[in-house]
């Protein structure tokens, strides 16, 4: 079932989501929620969706960066963003650690800020410890675009939106991003 994606201004997007217990994770209700969130994310389309975005203050997010989404980017863009396909997975009760101090700037969007984008600095490499949908402990080291996706979704679980981290002078509608900034070096947007 496709769920409604809440837009900025909804209080649940600004609150701290609560951890799930093992019993909750293994419940039919959470299994259904994960399936519905996957359908909603793919339909949007997006690369991640956190439970607060569908109105539930739970520390749960679904992640997937499908090959078909990458086909719209040039090989140069894929290399610059370190963007590769990421298989579907669920992160529950994640804990994040930046693995290096290097940050990278790229335009970023959000399903809860439909129609807008801005340059957001993010750590290039992170480690995430989390539980999967079977309540099993997992960890992953991610870099590039995958690290960005994880940071973005975990921010949602902490009540943070990308507009809290963005380089404010780069905030733009997607229409204007396509018209003025899409094919220009990022430095141009940062200098304007």
Geometric angle at alpha carbon 19, from 14 and 22, rounded to 5°: 155
Look up tokens 């590039």; give the residue.
144
Residue among 92, 83, 100, 175 nearest 133 (CA): 92
- CA dist., res. 153 & res. 111, Å (int): 11
Closest residue by Cα to residue 121 from 108, 102, 103: 103
CA distance 178 to 39: 27
Residues belonging to the active site: 153
> Tokens 């529950």 belong to which residue?
92
Q: Which of 102, 100, 112, 96 is nearest to 163 (CA)?
A: 112
* Nearest C-alpha neighbor of 50 from the set 96, 80, 16, 85: 16
């Amino acid at each position: 079932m496709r769920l409604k994606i809440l837009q900025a201004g909804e209080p649940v997007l600004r609150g701290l989501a609560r951890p799930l217990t093992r019993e909750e994770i293994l419940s039919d209700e959470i299994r259904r929620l994960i399936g519905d969130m996957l359908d909603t994310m793919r339909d949007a389309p997006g690369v991640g969706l956190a439970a607060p975005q569908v109105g539930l203050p739970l520390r749960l997010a679904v992640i997937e960066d499908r090959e078909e989404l990458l086909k719209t980017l040039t090989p140069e863009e894929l290399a610059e963003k370190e963007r590769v396909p990421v298989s579907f997975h669920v992160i529950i009760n994640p804990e994040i650690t930046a693995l290096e101090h290097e940050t990278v700037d790229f335009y970023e969007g959000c399903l809860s800020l439909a129609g807008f984008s801005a340059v957001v600095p993010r750590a290039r490499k992170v480690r995430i410890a989390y539980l999967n949908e079977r309540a099993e402990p997992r960890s992953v080291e991610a870099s590039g675009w995958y690290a960005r996706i994880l940071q973005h979704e975990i921010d949602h679980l902490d009540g943070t939106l990308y507009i809290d981290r963005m380089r404010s002078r780069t905030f733009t509608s997607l229409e204007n991003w396509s018209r003025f900034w899409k094919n220009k070096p990022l430095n141009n947007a940062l200098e304007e």
